[in-house]
Structure 1
Amino acid sequence: MAGSAARPRFSCLTICAALLLGSAIAVPAQTQTVPLTLGAIPPEDVVPLAGGGLERALADLPEEVESVLKRSGVPGAAVAVVHDGKTIFARGFGVRELGKEAKVDTATVFQIASMSKPIAATIAAMQVTAGKVKWDDKITRHLPTFAVGDAYVTANGTVGDFYSHRSGLPHAAGDTLEDIGFDRKTILERLRMLPLAPFRVSYNYANFGFTTGAEAVAAAAGKPWADLAQEALYGPLGMTSTSSRYADFLARENRATLHTLENGRFIAGLTRDPDQQSPAGGVTSNVTDLAEWAKLILANGQHDGREMISPAALLPALRAQAFSAPAGTIGSRSGFYGFGFNVSVNANGRPDMSHSGAFVTGAATNVQFLPSADLAILVLTNAGPVGAAEAITGHFLDIVQYGAPTRDWYALMHPLLMQNYAPLGDLVGRSAPSRPAPARPLADYVGTYDSPYFGPARISQDENGLVLTLGPEAIVMPMTHWDGDVFSIAPRSENAPYGSLSSVRFEGAGGALKSMRVDYLNEEGLATWTR
């Protein structure tokens, strides 16, 4: 990384890591050494659930949701609870958009962001069941032209490696290309230019790495991803309000508006089209539909008395495949990632599978599965990540398991999630020089510059000064002189939150400018354009 400090990007929220195998040899994902019954654990290995805990948790849930919405300022939420094959709670809270009267109800469709990943894993497990693909298939078997920056990883990386973020691709690989308007095909092609961490012994959460795995599954099935999702999962489960296409979301009348955080307040106005990373973050749905998906998972792949997913295909997704959060001390627990699911063991010995989703531009979601209790809870919200969704699920599951909350979950989660709003760029918090060195004549900077990774950039001049234009969608940012050959820009995107301030630095010996570097895009050292 060069220029600015690294900032966690949580357009798909999770706390994950990579499978420590001790070598680059894969452990077959489908090797089975335990019974294939989801949630089957010896009774003596777990603390019993609190008597009447589920009933108390359900009675408490509406008040807790209202409390969290009030504390957080989140405008609206929808919540569903699934137990014993039934939806035992489903309700909307608050409004779809601040300042408007339309209420959130159980039919309101939300953008669920990275909660799309466990859904994509479910679809992959269905294709494994159908014999179209295996978790251990090499990516290049289905995507022959795909490559990363290491020949061994290119030749040996599997569907499972990319579904579990252990391929070695850097954190948030490709996200900035999406921000400036590149399509999925171009982004996946340019992943080969990125530096890699050690294969299978490192973990980096990467939306387009995950999307690579899903594209291999879709290629094996012979269908575009969005079509496969509809035909394999949404249609058979009757999820009529669910889609992996952003255009379908825009066509829904009853949809939630995104709300992003600015100066401590949520405001509406930004949009987020996640189609290019659709398997990783592009699902839109409501709690009624998602409850049907949760039932399928808790039923170990059974639906209406028939097997949609074989237990042998589903189980690898739901058990640890990568260290997402290695323990820092011998007295603490590690966190794990499966294939699209967070995997952990609670303090009472009960396995838990989960995933959060978030767009800083205005959405936050969370799902928690407690298979040993045949229980799941889903929370969808229409505001950026502030810990609200996770606080609701944590509070609910505490009461189910222990009879009472063990902590103030919002107070715990809020500061952690607020890291997502840290402004990006080397000029954040700095004052412009009081006596800057003069710039050259502005016409000297005007022209076209090129980057193998980011593509062409154009510096133009209008009546207000210089303007930087990036990407195929022509992202336009006015430039302000800072000092000498350095100008500032204020980017705003999913990965550059409100308040971001970055330098654009021009360089060249003598009178000729030969290159420019844009700091906020330079985390992998690739944001230098030559003239």
Structure 2
Amino acid sequence: MRAIPGRRAGRARAFAAPFLAVLLTGASGAGAGAAAALPGAGPPAPEPQLTGAQVDKAVAALDDDVRALMKRTGVPGVSVGVVYKDKVVYLKGFGVRRVGDSAKVDPDTVFQIASLSKPVASTVVAGVLGQGGEKDLGWDTPVAGQLPDFALKDPWVSAHVTPADLFSHRSGLPDHAGDLLEDLGYDRAYVLSHLRYEPLSAFRASYAYTNFGLTAAAEAVARARGVSWEKLSEDTLYKPAGMDSTSSRFADFDKATDKASTHVKNADGTWSARYVRDADAQAPAGGVSSSARDMTRWLRLQLADGRLDGRQIVDSAALARTHLPEIVSQPPAGPADRAGFYGLGWNVGYDERGRLRLSHSGAFALGAATAVTLLPQERLGIVVLTNGSPVGVPETLAQDFFETAQSGKPGRDWLPLIAGVLDKQLNEGRSPTDYAHPPADARPARADSAYTGSYENPYYGRLTVTATSSALTLELGPKPLRFPLTHYSGDVFSFETAGENAVGRTGVTFKDNTVRVEYLDAHGLGTFTRAG
């Protein structure tokens, strides 16, 4: 997620990016050491502070903690893996893959990992760059030329933006640029070719979390190799690392027999598997599926400088670059507060002893929540995968684990605080107008013919309004999606939004041969003009 405050409910897939990462890193002494020092990178990393006995105690507490969090939240299924000193010291599944079915979650159950895809993607790029191909696109090489249809609004930025800029969210693109296009059904190529319409903030001096900015960088690296991103990921990381259940294709997740369905929470507190989330359009940023077993292999590789089972899978120096801060993602609120940083696909934080903590969370509002935290100097890491929309379970479990290792027990009950932050984000971005309840003095609408017809928008494409005997219907997207309109007052209507970025009811205002869709207009791009 972006720094609080966020903007739309669908921003959920970025959860615990800078705000929670800073909160949890600075909350206790559970952090753990810096990555291996690079030449000239400053003082040596702090010595490890945790003992094996301390880690054993934290591992022993996991069963009860997982079950307690599941009972408190109702999350249907959880899978957890812990790596310490290159060994998997904990690997277990809990609960069910799908509510109403008896199949249990196990260490090999495949979950959609959402934004944990980002540090996985940066590992892939590090693996490519470490191979030293002369045609490879480097972290600091402009992507211009690799993606013919990709450009940003400023020509100078278009010519200079690099994979490092896009992986660290410092390109100037606005928060979650392109996500609404994906919700409407547009594919990766369309979204990347239309980012040129998005307004830009200061290049390399501002942070805004963007799934499709990162996707553009990954796609450029893959095209420099002459392969798809999905195949590049397989050949560079998944196959060499023995991550046999991991894929960047939704179809592979969909056909898996041992997979966790996504679930959302109902108003009565129960959970339902109501949605299917195909994230292929942004696969490098949010489309990976994996199991806890596979993710522990990735943790081992991360904590062993790119080595796994005696083989150098990813070059150590190339991997170390991904662990360094590239941009301030969360400025300190006061003199006693710590800043949060974002690296190349990682949240990067430091505790009061200067110890590094790498982390990332992922979430789909439509039903997944995940988290990973690494303490490189301690060679300790945890991954938590769940099949429920974000309510704080992965982040709380990881925080409890590290605090128990450091201090013998958690410092506080983290779940209410974390859940409150996530709930606030899920509900931000909703319209201040209650369209479900028109005013008592609502003005009547004009005849349907005043509104029907086709409208064009260079970013969102065509919008069509049609009339039936019962209602006006708005159509959007390439398929298209159909939204029944409800009259509010005068020339103002509303419809119920849908998809990952849904924000409840949003306004639709007709005026002078134009129609403005409120929730599409966050960046000033939501006005359509009547065609012809």
Structures share a fold, TM > 0.5?
A: yes
1:25 aligns to what?
Answer: none
SS at match of 1:254: coil
Q: CA deviation at 1:234?
A: 0.8
CA contact (8 A) 1:120 1:214 kept: yes
SS at match of 2:185: coil
Residues 135-284 of structure 1 mapped to structure 2, 5 A cutoff:
135-263=139-267, 265=269, 266-284=271-289
2:72 aligns to what?
Answer: 71
> Cα distance 1:472–1:337, how it changes in 2: closer, same or farther (>3 A)?
same
Q: CA deviation at 1:102?
A: 1.3
> Cα distance 1:14–1:211, how it changes in 2: closer, same or farther (>3 A)?
farther
**Residue 10 of structure 1 is aligned with which of 1, 9, 12?**
12
CA distance in 1, matches of 2:320, 2:52: 29
Q: Give the unaligned 5+ runs of structure 1.
A: 18-29, 509-513
1:33 lines up with 2:40 in the alignment = yes
Q: CA deviation at 1:170?
A: 0.1
CA contact (8 A) 2:149 2:192 kept: no
Q: CA deviation at 1:462?
A: 1.9
> Cα distance 1:271–1:428, how it changes in 2: closer, same or farther (>3 A)?
farther
Q: CA deviation at 1:262?
A: 3.5
CA distance in 2, matches of 1:445, 1:394: 53
1:402 aligns to what?
Answer: 407
CA distances 1:415-465 after superposition (whole Å, capped 9, x unpaired): 011123216334347631123211111132111111111000110112321
1:483 aligns to what?
Answer: 489
1:378 lines up with 2:380 in the alignment = no
1:494 lines up with 2:496 in the alignment = no
The letter of the residue matching 1:11 is: R
1:467 aligns to what?
Answer: 473
1:54 lines up with 2:59 in the alignment = no
SS at match of 2:299: helix
CA distance in 2, matches of 1:350, 1:261: 37
> Cα distance 1:185–1:32, how it changes in 2: closer, same or farther (>3 A)?
farther
Choose 441-450 or 159-168, whichever is displaced more.
441-450
**Residue 314 of structure 1 is aligned with which of 300, 310, 319?**
319
CA distance in 1, matches of 2:282, 2:8: 20
2:527 aligns to what?
Answer: 528
CA distance in 1, matches of 2:332, 2:483: 42
Q: CA deviation at 1:50?
A: 6.2
CA distance in 1, matches of 2:58, 2:353: 17
The letter of the residue matching 1:212 is: A
CA distances 1:192-243 after superposition (whole Å, capped 9, x unpaired): 0010010011000000011011111111221100011111111111111111
2:119 aligns to what?
Answer: 118
SS at match of 1:487: strand
The letter of the residue matching 1:34 is: A
Q: CA deviation at 1:324?
A: 1.1
CA distance in 2, matches of 1:382, 1:61: 18
2:22 aligns to what?
Answer: none
> Cα distance 1:67–1:434, how it changes in 2: closer, same or farther (>3 A)?
same
CA distance in 1, matches of 2:474, 2:424: 28
**Residue 464 of structure 2 is aligned with which of 455, 458, 461?**
458
The letter of the residue matching 1:334 is: A
1:291 aligns to what?
Answer: 296
CA distances 1:76-130 after superposition (whole Å, capped 9, x unpaired): 1000001111211110011111122111111111000000000000000011101
CA distance in 2, matches of 1:383, 1:376: 22
2:307 aligns to what?
Answer: 302
CA distance in 1, matches of 2:46, 2:410: 25
Q: CA deviation at 1:488?
A: 1.1
SS at match of 1:103: coil
Q: CA deviation at 1:303?
A: 2.2
The letter of the residue matching 1:522 is: D
The letter of the residue matching 1:109 is: V
> Cα distance 1:166–1:231, how it changes in 2: closer, same or farther (>3 A)?
same
The letter of the residue matching 1:268 is: A
CA contact (8 A) 1:461 1:467 kept: yes
CA distance in 2, matches of 1:64, 1:301: 31
The letter of the residue matching 1:380 is: L
Residues 86-125 of structure 1 mapped to structure 2, 5 A cutoff:
86-125=87-126
CA distance in 2, matches of 1:35, 1:347: 17
CA contact (8 A) 1:52 1:403 kept: no
CA contact (8 A) 1:96 1:103 kept: yes
CA distance in 2, matches of 1:217, 1:55: 41
CA contact (8 A) 2:262 2:388 kept: yes
1:21 aligns to what?
Answer: none
The letter of the residue matching 2:452 is: V
CA distance in 2, matches of 1:31, 1:92: 37
CA distance in 2, matches of 1:42, 1:458: 61
CA distance in 2, matches of 1:346, 1:99: 43
The letter of the residue matching 2:40 is: T
Q: CA deviation at 1:253?
A: 1.3
Count of residues paired in the alignment: 502
CA contact (8 A) 1:426 1:503 kept: no
The letter of the residue matching 1:236 is: P
1:388 aligns to what?
Answer: 393
Q: CA deviation at 1:404?
A: 1.7
**Residue 416 of structure 2 is aligned with which of 390, 406, 411?**
411
Q: CA deviation at 1:319?
A: 1.2
The letter of the residue matching 2:8 is: R
The letter of the residue matching 1:275 is: D
1:353 aligns to what?
Answer: 358
1:504 aligns to what?
Answer: 508
Q: CA deviation at 1:354?
A: 0.8
1:437 lines up with 2:431 in the alignment = no
CA distance in 2, matches of 1:384, 1:98: 14
CA contact (8 A) 1:49 1:402 kept: no
2:518 aligns to what?
Answer: 519
SS at match of 2:61: helix
TM-score by length of 2: 0.91
The letter of the residue matching 1:521 is: L
CA distance in 1, matches of 2:72, 2:80: 17
> Cα distance 1:519–1:139, how it changes in 2: closer, same or farther (>3 A)?
same
The letter of the residue matching 1:448 is: S
The letter of the residue matching 2:363 is: A
The letter of the residue matching 1:59 is: A
CA contact (8 A) 2:150 2:194 kept: no
CA contact (8 A) 1:16 1:323 kept: no
